[in-house]
Copies of this chain bind each other. A is one copy, B any other.
């Protein structure tokens, strides 16, 4: 009693100090790994910590340091329905794995609408997290702009454009697309069409660019009527495929910028009596779970999503540790996974 009106039974730094027969300062130094402590004192403190089961009070620490030891993973919901869902799961898994050895907390923030974006803005501005990971970035991304404006450590999955100033990580979209289309050409396809993602996203744009590059490298000219743009959804894939068949009945290969769109395309091809891969060969992108279950199973470009998550987390931690450091840009390799569709 007296001055010590403790409400929770949890031991404090003070208690540890008393137990170890040292001052608060010394305990703090030990806990925070300062070298300026004698071996003797350190041992005594560590023993006391173990005996009492001391765990530092995060709030008290945050209050004085104004670090929060937590980072936010922000997922714009509107996009999350579009991009294949396993993508987010894999990102989360990677981020979490990388953070596991730290004592950083992972906050998950889904942003569904303008009101929630507003809330998020207040949230970030009041520095309730040390850093932010943002996925599903598109051109003119309001959230990315926000991150840039308030100068909080941040890492993007994807980018707004080729000149993205914020640190970001993404798969080699161009290279992956090139690989896919090259494979189609090597199989003997003469008229390779593509179903693109939204062209206001770099990922959509880049995969289209890869298609063009691969065609040119193969001596073919990328023709406009071999391109149909969709929105990463299955229905979008179906519509695009119908349009392509109408415009170019002679097509014999399709590169779809996502597995889900490829799945839609496969349905339409079947409806039209085209055999896959004999009449039309199809390659998707993502190597997601759907790729293994389509009929026929889908050849697809694998992107290392979990690895992306890990990398993002690592870059963010670096940036938090050294806020002045320069922005980074990491591109991860893709790989073509062969199945039956091409």
Please report which residues of chain A, range 1-50, place their CB below 8 angstroms from some CB of chain B when the two chains form the complex. 7-8, 10
Please report which residues of chain A, range 94-140, place their CB below 8 angstroms from some CB of chain B when the two chains form the complex. 96-97, 100, 105-110, 112, 116, 122, 125-128
Asked if A329 CB lies within 8 Å of chain B CBs, one says: no
**Beta-carbon contact of B263 and A293 below 8 Å:** yes
A68 partner residues in chain B, CB cutoff 8 A: 59
Work out how many copies of this chain go into the complex: 2
> Could you tell me the distance between the alpha carbons of A72 and B125 in the complex, rounded to whole angstroms?
23
Asked if A244 CB lies within 8 Å of chain B CBs, one says: no
Known: A100-B112, A293-B293. A128 touches B89 (CB 8 A): no
> Could you tell me the distance between the alpha carbons of A63 and B92 in the complex, rounded to whole angstroms?
30
A337 partner residues in chain B, CB cutoff 8 A: none
Size class of the contact patch on chain A: 35 or more
**Beta-carbon contact of B293 and A122 below 8 Å:** no
Asked if A78 CB lies within 8 Å of chain B CBs, one says: no
Known: A63-B59, A126-B55, A294-B293. A93 touches B105 (CB 8 A): no
A128 partner residues in chain B, CB cutoff 8 A: 58, 105
> Could you tell me the distance between the alpha carbons of A77 and B90 in the complex, rounded to whole angstroms?
12
> Could you tell me the distance between the alpha carbons of A122 and B128 in the complex, rounded to whole angstroms?
23
Question: Which one of A10, A88, A89 has the greatest number of beta carbons of chain B within 10 Å?
Answer: A89
A89 partner residues in chain B, CB cutoff 8 A: 80, 85, 88-89
Residue interface mask A242-266, B partner, CB < 8 A = 1:
0000000000000000000001000
**Distance from A110 Cβ to chain B, minimum over Cβ atoms (Å):** 4
Nearest opposing residue in chain B for A263, CB measure: B293
A73 partner residues in chain B, CB cutoff 8 A: 108
Asked if A289 CB lies within 8 Å of chain B CBs, one says: yes
Interface residues of A (CB under 8 A from B): 7-8, 10, 55, 57-60, 62-63, 66, 68, 70, 73, 77, 80, 85-86, 88-89, 92-93, 96-97, 100, 105-110, 112, 116, 122, 125-128, 234, 263, 289-290, 292-295
The contact sample of 12 A-B pairs, CB cut-off 8 A, is A8-B127, A55-B122, A59-B59, A85-B86, A96-B110, A105-B107, A106-B109, A108-B108, A234-B292, A289-B289, A290-B290, A295-B295
